[in-house]
Structures are given as structure tokens and as C-alpha cells.
Amino acid sequence: MTSLETYFNNSQPLDQYIAAMTENKENLESIYHSFSLPNNDQRLDQLKTSNYSKVLVISEDWCGDAMMNIPILKHISEALNLEVRVFHRDENTDLIDQYLTNGTARSIPIFVFLNDNFEQVSVWGPRAKQVQHFVDETRAKLPAKDDPTYEDKSAETHVIISNRYKTDSQMWKHVYDSILDKLITI
């Protein structure tokens, strides 16, 4: 099995990943420029002395969750001086298969927080609890998959979710809090 160090070293630095994006780049950058870290968050100060030094992100640029979550992670990583690299999920599914959501889904993004020895310290993703609740509520309104309107309704639902991700600063705050809360509990 390939080590996390090998995956990390063979992954793109975050800024390089963003520069090469072909989908969602403008939205990701817009979220990054619109979101600010809260002032005086003691959790950030506490995490500055933790043993986190790297983040291995498993993602793809077409992913709406990544579009919203990666800009928040970028702010956190800049504040904590973490080196972030992105591994493309679809190029080799061996890595994502170690981080399946609910034991079955290759959901992204997944953030694997590592120490200096490339050992996994914590894992976050693919969504904050409140964001998952919103997605579940929104998708619950879909008709059954065998309904002739399912494809159109599913596409409409995707647009609703994506638009909320792009504009809802409260969702961004939920992501921020969820990541920090996960890191602080270790």
C-alpha cells in the first residue's frame, strides 16, 4: 500500500491546483476572497502549537463541496502555516478508498491532516454537519429515481445546492467551525 508521504509528495501544491482548475475556479476564488477568519479565535492560537504541519486533500475541481470547503481550508492553512497538497481522486481511487464516507461513498473533499512524519493525525470531510443537513433536506424533495422528472429535478437541486454554497457565508462559517472543532479535539 502506498504511504501517505508518497501520496503527499506526488500531489499538487494547493495554489498550483487552484491555478490549473478548469471548473469552479472562479467560484472557489470568490469564496476565498469573501470569507475571512474570525478575529481572536482562540482555537487557532491553540492549534498553532499542535503537531499538524501538512494537509493532504483528496478532491476534484468539478466538486461543489470542494469549491466551498477548500477556500476555507486555505485560510486555515495560511493561519497555521500548513503545507497543503491536493491529490486528484479520480486518478487513483486507492487513496479515497481508505476514506470512504459511510463505508461506501467516494465523497470529496477529504482533508487528511498530517504531522511532520506524514502520519495521519486527523481527517475531515466531506461536509460540515449543518451543510449535510441542508443537502439532505434539499435532496429529500426529489422524486423517486424511476420518476420521469427525476433527472430534471435532480439537476435543479444541484443548482440550488451549488448556489447556496457560493453565497451563504453562514455555511462557510459552519465549515470553518467544523474543521477547527475536529482539529482541536485531537
Residue 87 backbone zone (phi > 0: left; psi -120 to 50: alpha; other: beta): beta
Q: How far apart are CA 38 and CA 58, in angstroms?
A: 26
- pLDDT for residue 1: 63
- pLDDT for residue 185: 75
The CATH homologous superfamily of the domain defined by 4-127+171-184: Glutaredoxin (3.40.30.10)
- pLDDT for residue 186: 60
Q: Which residues pair with 110 in a beta bridge?
A: 58
CA angle 89, 28, 56 (to 5 degrees): 35
Residue 128 backbone zone (phi > 0: left; psi -120 to 50: alpha; other: beta): beta
Strand ordering across the sheet containing 54-59? 12-13, 83-88, 54-59, 110-114, 120-124
Rg (CA), the chain: 17
Pairing of strands 120-124, 110-114: antiparallel
60, 66 Cβ separation under 8 angstroms: yes
- pLDDT for residue 67: 97
- Ramachandran angles phi, psi of 137, nearest 5°: -60, -45
- pLDDT for residue 2: 79
- Ramachandran angles phi, psi of 56, nearest 5°: -100, 115
Divide the 186 residues of the chain into consecutive groups of 10 and give the mean pLDDT of each group: 90 97 96 94 91 96 96 97 96 91 91 96 96 96 94 95 96 97 85
122, 113 Cβ separation under 8 angstroms: yes
Q: How far, in Å, are 23, 40, 160 from residue 135 at the CA level? A: 21, 31, 10
